[in-house]
Structure 1
Amino acid sequence: MKAYFSKTIEEVMKEFNVSKGGISESQVKSHREKYGYNELAEVKKKSVFRVFLDQFKDLLVIILLIAAIVSMTTGSTESTIVIFAVIVLNAILGTVQHVKAEQSLNSLKALSSPIAKVIRDNQKHEILSKDVVPGDILVLEAGDYVPADGRIIENYSLQVNESSLTGESESVIKTSETILKDEVALGDQKNMVFSGSLVTYGRALVIVTNTGMNTEIGKIASLIETTKEKKTPLQVSLDNFGKKLATIILIISVIIFLLNMYRGVNILDSLMFAVALAVAAIPEALSSIVTIVLAIGTQKMAHENAIVKQLKAVESLGCVSIICSDKTGTLTQNKMKVRKIYTDDKIFNFDEFDLNNKIQNFLMNSSILCNDSSVENGTEIGDPTEVALVNLGKNYSLDELDIRKSYPRISEIPFDSDRKLMSTSHEVDGKYIMLTKGALDVLLPRIKYIATSEGISEFTSKDKILIENVNRGFSENGLRVLAFAYKEIKKDHILSLDDENEYTFLGLISMIDPPREESTKAVEDCINAGIKPIMITGDHKITASAIAKQIGILKSGDEALEGTELDKLSDEELKNKVENVSVYARVSPEHKIRIVRAWQEKGKVVAMTGDGVNDAPALKQADIGIAMGITGTEVSKDASSMILADDNFATIVKSVANGRNVYTNIKNSIKFLLSGNTAAILAVIYTSLASLPIPFAPVHLLFINLLTDSLPAIAIGLEKPKNDLLKEKPRNINAPILSKNFLKKILSEGILIAIFTMLAFHIGLKSGSAGVASTMAFSTLCLGRLFHGFNCRGDKSIFKIGVFSNIYSWIAFGIGLVLLNLVLILEPLKNLFEISSLNSTQFGYIYLLAVLPTIIIQVYKIIFKQDSASDSKEISVGENA
């Protein structure tokens, strides 16, 4: 790899045949053909066939295979065929799920692909980072991820965090100077930037030298393999429960095996039955169904503009009790528009600018020159506040590119959240001028002079009071105010922070970012859902309070705090005060973390929105970090667990509702699976202890396991949200899903199904045939579990939920009903599944006894309305096990 750090800027640009105006489209094409796309080579994925084979590694599947082989050697062909069919079908389902999961992951990668800003053919463009080619001129700014390796050709206080490559957490101060050495450690190549690092301060122009696998991070990528995705907390909890349950069931299976041997059943049949019982009783589909329901939930959220990066975020969303939201763009439209201007002791509207007035003309030009945004062909690039200033100029037929070409930028000090200022220097009419814009409270103490129509005069306390009063008046009307000032500097002077003083005051420009139409309703929904919305903004307290009152966040008795007031509070004082504060203004990144922690220490689950580099720590600290998809930096997106594609607060509220619904549906699916399995286990234990014939053939249990587990459970997971979902309080995130009350319901419903299954078994025994008894027990259990799927759709009666509101439950029921009847009627299937012939009366008993548990459960829900209320409370608030 070439040592570009030791080459001069001219040498590097000559090598790639490029100027600062960027490469041409024809060069882009030829460079892409030569170097390929700017992507890291992915680790070779498993083939579909390999994935299929991996499905047979499960211990229980191996036991089944052994049992099938033994069965085949003893001549039990039917059992062997059914066992193999079940195993292969489960393997196919597992393979399909794996492939679909990969497809979803690829879609998510495409959605979250970073954007790069490049200059091509003298125009600034935003492109996907994979489309960057060697020779491209990158425009890097604070908050950007560096998409490729490159040599810095213009540097404006650039600082880059390269910890992903070097392990050093401190940002590296960059330079454009040539390093006159042949060998330099990566961390000391200060005139280079590297793919995967992130810009934390300043800006720069960079010529791309290496892309894809030729980058420094590409070298690392070639040596490592991708990490596996972690399981969600819910999955871990269920896996632990499943292991304990499996141990108990295996013990029961061993006992049943020994009992059957004691009663004279041959060893093979006893072994086959014990294995089949274990496989049927253990809900091995539980983890897969949870994943499927979560994945479906994330897809639904994606359609509603919420891109969930981590499945665990879906679970946590249902627990959110605090939403700390930025104001700009999230609660408001993020379409800043200039409204009022103050200069030369005059206040006037945005459409009353007089460009013939020297001071007003200078203020207009300053707002465009001290500005990094642009509007090209209707596409707005940059901060909304700066875009508003550019659009103000366009209202007067002023083109920002022409003005910037006439007065080119010489040097600059970029804006940052600590200083709250931005400064640039230009040559204007033969003089060298430093222009600064920023927050009035920061700029005002640095003012020494004031520009008036009568000339430049000393800045007096009277001037200061007048400007502060004007600013307060603007802010009280919800306007955001930017102050502008300037000073003369020496020729070729490079700006530093020490220069930001002794200014001449120029004027104030105020803007408004009106609330989104849906924000008021979303805030109301939050409050009804037991969620406290909090506004955290960099705006003035007065401005923030005006918007917060308008949309319902700041109510009577609530407080608004500024960052300076927050600094005076200890952590303990903040914790005691935090419940009464609804608006935080003029805050720093450290303040945001303190606010989040204060709520977390009070046991609340906090969602936090952010879009800037400085928001990343708070996004990481929050239980749910939510980045802005439109205005958000790559750093904030990387730190978050969810991205709002539309930057809309209302989307967060929808996501909370979806999160609550997903959790409820998962819980109902678990209830269905475990109560049905409990019924099967109790039936077998009862017959074994009562010295009765075995109620189920092994193929019966395998059939039930295949038929009555997955489809109805997934259908329950697709249940639509209740209308009153956002009227419930958030659930406790630490409450176990399998509480004592929940397990009591599972056991009671399992006992109910088992009782009627055994009634069917005894009716069959009266006919004098153990085969008929087994067939009736199998059919009743199978059909009873299918009916039970409707009970598990929710805590209320199916008539209140809506009999036909979940079409998937009816499809799952219909498929199960058809397959069961085919097995009971068709002779080839009867032989395969060891089914005895039944008369019409026995069929009637099966249907009656199978539906009775569901009728009893539904009547109970209708009569005992307090049970529904308590169930709803249990799901939404959480259980104490």
Structure 2
Amino acid sequence: MPPPAPTDFHALSAAQVLSGLRATRAGLDDDEAARRLATHGPNRLPAPPRDSLLRRFAKHFQDILILILIGAAVITAMLHHWIDTGVILGVVVINAIIGFLQEGKAEAALAGIRKMLSASAQVRRQGKWRQIDAAELVPGDIVRLRSGDRVPTDLRLLEATNLRIEESALTGESVPSDKRIDPVAADAGIGDRACMAYSGTLVAAGRALGIVIATGASTEIGRINRLIAEVETLQTPLTRQMAQFGRQLSVLIVGLAALMLVVGIGLHGLPLGEVLLAAIGFAVAAIPEGLPAILTITLALGVQRMAQRQAITRRLTAVETLGSVTVICSDKTGTLTKNEMTARHVITRAGNYLVSGSGYAPQGDITLDGQFVELAEHAHLHALIEVIAVANDTHVAENAGQWCVTGEPTEGALRTLAHKAGFSSGQHTRHATIPFESANKFMATLASTPTGLRRILLKGAPDRLLDRCREELGADGQPVPLDRAWWEREIDRLSQEGLRVLAAAARRVDDAHVRLSENDLDHGMVFLGLIGIIDPPRPEAVQAIASCHAAGIRVKMITGDHAGTARAIGIEMGIGSAQSLKVVSGTELEAADDEQLRRIVGDCDIFARTSPEHKLRIVTALQANGEVVAMTGDGVNDAPALKRADVGVAMGIKGTEATKEAADIVLADDNFSSIERAVEEGRTIYDNLKKAILFILPTNGGQGFVMLATVVFGLTLPLTPVQILWVNMIIAITLALALAFEPAEPGIMRRPPRRPGTPILNAAFLWRLVLVSLLIGGATIAMFESELALGMPLDLARTVAVNTLVVAQAFYLFNARFLTTCSLRRDLLFTNRAAWLAVGVLLLLQLAFVYLPFMNAAFATTPLALRHWLAPLAIGLFIFLGMELEKRWQSSRQRT
């Protein structure tokens, strides 16, 4: 059923929600629940319709290059060259199988979301609590939540005690959200709806009672599910360019073949059979049947290299697309930052202590004015550390080489700070505790020190502690009147830097004090200081952003965090400067129309308090501006934008299954720097693809020119179609394949990204294609005609022509290894051993072609004398040196 019209339940009081849903706190009766279940349907996400396996497989034969391959297979079958037909069809089928296995990404993403839903729920029916299947929940049901539960559907909270819910998968916030029952503004974003609990999120602490307001497709996660299903996936730049190139090439080949028929029959009066054979030979020569296979192999090798750099590729063409990325939109939490809260500052009246290290690993130092601090020598710091370590129920421990927190992330940061200071709370004896509650935002503990002193230790929100203190620990170590204005200035300063600020206070009590109440916190508490906590940037991500900027790639942060935190992290990451960096909130995005949004995304690099729709609109607006967009994320709220982006990049460690399934690339280390390395790999792959195209097309063009010129000028065919197939096959499996192994060219990450829509072959490369085709084709015809003029047999002349083609292409390979750089540089000549190995294999195959009797019989060739090798070698060397001069000429033209 279609979802009902949304209601702003978060803006209504609990009584209004109960009334609107015709429910009571006693719960629904069974008959009413059954009626509502029939009306609204089960509380599960609908499975999307899927194409049949046959239809999904057949779609992979509709690409123009695949159709060209099939045409080549038909031509070879017409020539009864069954081995070549089998090889070409094998390439077609392998390509289809690879695409088929990668198909169904969106369906898998939806399945990943469905796995997030809770299997059961505690519901009140007919006045009694029951455990039921979560799929049976209906609007109006009363549901109970406890710590550790996964929220089974969207709830409006009616009661909440110390409730904190982990919502990072929906909001991107790095710490659990405090919940309460008071209504909020109607236009509040998901992260600000404190009176709501959403399906698929996790109860980190506390307990609650809520009323079901939406189920299944009507829930917030169901809405994201629909967004993923509705998002249109764009073609990659390579797919678009190759489709256009394939169409143009096919039209050109068919047109020239038809021209050959007209010229051969109409101008020279040649027999139809002979001209038809020449036209087929031209088509076989001109069609680069090895090109799709080379593209696939090049991409596959890139996938392997990227896997070694912690980037797992789920779709082959995504590798190349990374090389053309102009904008990277990144989630903050867990991608640019570690998603591990870390204490950075400790402020007492003795000074501002700086804390190094990041994450939960207890590695780092505490310094004051640049000097390392010994805890025993700093009474102020010791007093504060004692509070945050003893009034703390969280533990950090190493697990499989990674430090993990058990409990609250913020308390984990405080526990790690205590470890860095060398403080152990093991000998303290706890007598009583007031646990943290969202209403009061503090935790207090009554404990005895190892020396027997009994103290009340209090930590929590600074404003709440300042309200309860009349004194502070002065610079001389004695209590003095509280200077609240000074502390509030320090709190503002830390907050503006994007830090979360906590405070500590304590007081001495007598040994008879055995219980603890809130009244004990209202008298005699001494304010000790502040702790500034942040989810720190990854150091390697800072360097990676700088590399992206050097490569002409803009990095934009899209996060669910507050604007101040996002801006502070953005400045620290180097996304922008403090003077120029602008932050746009989700509310501003909501108010902007599509045209305004296109201007906003062009000017702004930080987006805060964003929803899944906002992220999707940002990506779409950037694409409308002509950008090639990579989007990173780890939460289910990122999945729609990841699917829409040209390249979706998910986090492999902390990412949700839905996000991984919607992405094209999964980072095994959750590290932004891996994206930068993947971009470098993508650029290398695109270069190698261009080199392969720039190598294959002139060689095919040379062969095609031989056949075309022969018919136009009424000459004897220098090559038979079978001989052309031989040349195409051995060149494809040796020389062209070697270009897939080329390493990155120098300075590849210091050049700007190629502009979207730039053709694979620009004017300079088209000129090179024509020039090389004429040189190779002309040399082949010249060698063939010269041998005939010397009275040599036709088979020998054709064998010499084939050798000329093969040797010239072997020399040209070393020109094609570098697009603009000189190929004679000693430091670059041997960087690709595969090229030299390919030439060696090619030589062995060509020797077999010339000298083995069964090859002579199959291809109508004959053994050659030594002089027949010298001329092709000289021609190959001439072509190599000539193209190096052309390369230098092109470079000088570009500089001027």
* Superposition TM-score tier, normalisation by shorter sequence: 0.5 to 0.7
- 1:511 equivalent in alignment to 2:533: yes
Question: Partner letter of residue 404 of structure 2?
Answer: E
Q: Residues 26-52 of structure 1, C-alpha deviation per residue, up to 9 Å, x if partnerless? A: xxxxxxxxxxxxxxxx99999xxx9xx
- 1:719 equivalent in alignment to 2:742: yes
Question: Partner letter of residue 85 of structure 2?
Answer: I
Whole-angstrom CA distance in 2 between matches of 1:447 and 1:598: 46
Whole-angstrom CA distance in 2 between matches of 1:260 and 1:520: 66
- 1:158 equivalent in alignment to 2:151: yes
| CA-CA distance at 1:508 after TM superposition | 5.1
Aligned to 1:530: 552
SS at match of 1:380: strand
Relative distance call for 1:99 and 1:310 in structure 2 (3 A) is: closer
Summarize the alignment of residues 732-881 of structure 1 with structure 2, pairs less than 5 Å apart. Answer: 732-768=755-791, 769-795=793-819, 796-800=821-825, 802-862=828-888, 865-866=891-892
| CA-CA distance at 1:318 after TM superposition | 2.1
Aligned to 2:580: 559
* From 686, 690, 697, the counterpart of 2:713: 690
Q: Could you tell me whether the CA contact under 8 Å between 1:597 and 1:621 is conserved in 2?
A: yes
Question: Partner letter of residue 450 of structure 1?
Answer: R
* From 456, 464, 468, the counterpart of 1:450: 468
Aligned to 1:307: 312
Summarize the alignment of residues 279-678 of structure 1 with structure 2, pairs less than 5 Å apart. Answer: 279-326=284-331, 329-332=334-337, 334-340=339-345, 368=393, 380=404, 385=410, 387-391=412-416, 449-450=467-468, 465-475=485-495, 479-482=499-502, 509-511=531-533, 515-534=537-556, 552-555=574-577, 558-562=579-583, 567=588, 584=606, 587-589=609-611, 602-616=625-639, 618-620=641-643, 622-678=645-701
Relative distance call for 1:306 and 1:159 in structure 2 (3 A) is: same
Whole-angstrom CA distance in 2 between matches of 1:327 and 1:705: 50
SS at match of 2:835: helix
Q: Could you tell me whether the CA contact under 8 Å between 1:624 and 1:642 is conserved in 2?
A: yes
Question: Partner letter of residue 87 of structure 1?
Answer: T
Aligned to 1:87: 85
Give the root-mean-square deviation of aligned CA atoms. Answer: 6.1
| CA-CA distance at 1:669 after TM superposition | 0.9
Q: Residues 708-740 of structure 1, C-alpha deviation per residue, up to 9 Å, x if partnerless? A: 134322221221111211111111122222344
- 1:235 equivalent in alignment to 2:244: no
Relative distance call for 1:619 and 1:785 in structure 2 (3 A) is: same
Q: Could you tell me whether the CA contact under 8 Å between 2:735 and 2:838 is conserved in 1?
A: yes
| CA-CA distance at 1:602 after TM superposition | 4.8
SS at match of 1:798: coil
Q: Could you tell me whether the CA contact under 8 Å between 1:756 and 1:853 is conserved in 2?
A: no
Relative distance call for 1:585 and 1:360 in structure 2 (3 A) is: farther
Whole-angstrom CA distance in 2 between matches of 1:567 and 1:230: 27
| CA-CA distance at 1:522 after TM superposition | 2.8
Relative distance call for 1:810 and 1:59 in structure 2 (3 A) is: same
Q: Which residues of structure 1 form unaligned runs of 5+?
A: 1-41, 72-79, 117-128, 138-146, 163-169, 172-196, 206-228, 414-421, 430-434, 455-461, 486-504, 871-881
SS at match of 1:199: coil
Question: Partner letter of residue 559 of structure 1?
Answer: S
Question: Partner letter of residue 776 of structure 1?
Answer: V
Whole-angstrom CA distance in 2 between matches of 1:437 and 1:639: 40
Summarize the alignment of residues 199-278 of structure 1 with structure 2, pairs less than 5 Å apart. Answer: 199=200, 232-256=236-260, 271-278=276-283
Q: Residues 723-766 of structure 1, C-alpha deviation per residue, up to 9 Å, x if partnerless? A: 21111111112222234443332122211211211211221121
| CA-CA distance at 1:358 after TM superposition | 12
Q: Residues 556-589 of structure 1, C-alpha deviation per residue, up to 9 Å, x if partnerless? A: x74234556984996777866767766x485434
Question: Partner letter of residue 388 of structure 1?
Answer: A
| CA-CA distance at 1:841 after TM superposition | 2.5
| CA-CA distance at 1:517 after TM superposition | 4.3
Aligned to 1:12: none
Relative distance call for 1:243 and 1:478 in structure 2 (3 A) is: closer
Whole-angstrom CA distance in 2 between matches of 1:854 and 1:809: 15
Question: Partner letter of residue 654 of structure 1?
Answer: R
SS at match of 1:560: coil
Q: Could you tell me whether the CA contact under 8 Å between 1:297 and 1:314 is conserved in 2?
A: yes
| CA-CA distance at 1:230 after TM superposition | 9.6
Whole-angstrom CA distance in 2 between matches of 1:403 and 1:98: 67
The count of corresponding residues between Structure 1 and Structure 2 is 704
Summarize the alignment of residues 57-136 of structure 1 with structure 2, pairs less than 5 Å apart. Answer: 83-91=81-89
Greater alpha carbon shift after TM alignment, 568-577 vs 385-394: 568-577
Relative distance call for 1:678 and 1:160 in structure 2 (3 A) is: farther
Relative distance call for 1:325 and 1:452 in structure 2 (3 A) is: farther
Q: Could you tell me whether the CA contact under 8 Å between 1:354 and 1:361 is conserved in 2?
A: no
| CA-CA distance at 1:767 after TM superposition | 1.9
Relative distance call for 1:542 and 1:63 in structure 2 (3 A) is: closer
TM-score w.r.t. the length of structure 2 is 0.63
Whole-angstrom CA distance in 2 between matches of 1:604 and 1:232: 12
Q: Could you tell me whether the CA contact under 8 Å between 1:279 and 1:702 is conserved in 2?
A: yes
| CA-CA distance at 1:595 after TM superposition | 6.1
Question: Partner letter of residue 199 of structure 1?
Answer: G
Question: Which protein has greater RCO, CA pairs closer than 8 Å, 6+ apart?
Answer: 2
Whole-angstrom CA distance in 2 between matches of 1:600 and 1:678: 36
Question: Partner letter of residue 546 of structure 2?
Answer: E
Question: Partner letter of residue 321 of structure 1?
Answer: T
Whole-angstrom CA distance in 1 between matches of 2:430 and 2:52: 52
Aligned to 1:176: none
SS at match of 1:802: helix
Whole-angstrom CA distance in 2 between matches of 1:161 and 1:761: 80
Q: Could you tell me whether the CA contact under 8 Å between 2:257 and 2:283 is conserved in 1?
A: yes
SS at match of 1:313: helix
Whole-angstrom CA distance in 1 between matches of 2:118 and 2:584: 44
| CA-CA distance at 1:805 after TM superposition | 1.1
Q: Could you tell me whether the CA contact under 8 Å between 1:325 and 1:535 is conserved in 2?
A: yes
Relative distance call for 1:65 and 1:367 in structure 2 (3 A) is: closer
Q: Could you tell me whether the CA contact under 8 Å between 2:319 and 2:685 is conserved in 1?
A: yes
| CA-CA distance at 1:277 after TM superposition | 3.2
Q: Could you tell me whether the CA contact under 8 Å between 1:354 and 1:360 is conserved in 2?
A: no
Relative distance call for 1:463 and 1:638 in structure 2 (3 A) is: farther
Q: Residues 406-462 of structure 1, C-alpha deviation per residue, up to 9 Å, x if partnerless? A: 9899x989xxxxxxxx98999999xxxxx9978x8xxx6x999535679xxxxxxx9
Aligned to 2:226: none
| CA-CA distance at 1:345 after TM superposition | 12
% identical aligned pairs: 30
Question: Partner letter of residue 151 of structure 2?
Answer: L
Q: Residues 610-644 of structure 1, C-alpha deviation per residue, up to 9 Å, x if partnerless? A: 33344445545654443333333334434443333
Question: Partner letter of residue 533 of structure 2?
Answer: M
Greater alpha carbon shift after TM alignment, 543-552 vs 468-477: 543-552
Q: Could you tell me whether the CA contact under 8 Å between 1:607 and 1:622 is conserved in 2?
A: yes
Whole-angstrom CA distance in 2 between matches of 1:94 and 1:270: 29
Aligned to 1:498: none
Relative distance call for 1:303 and 1:70 in structure 2 (3 A) is: closer
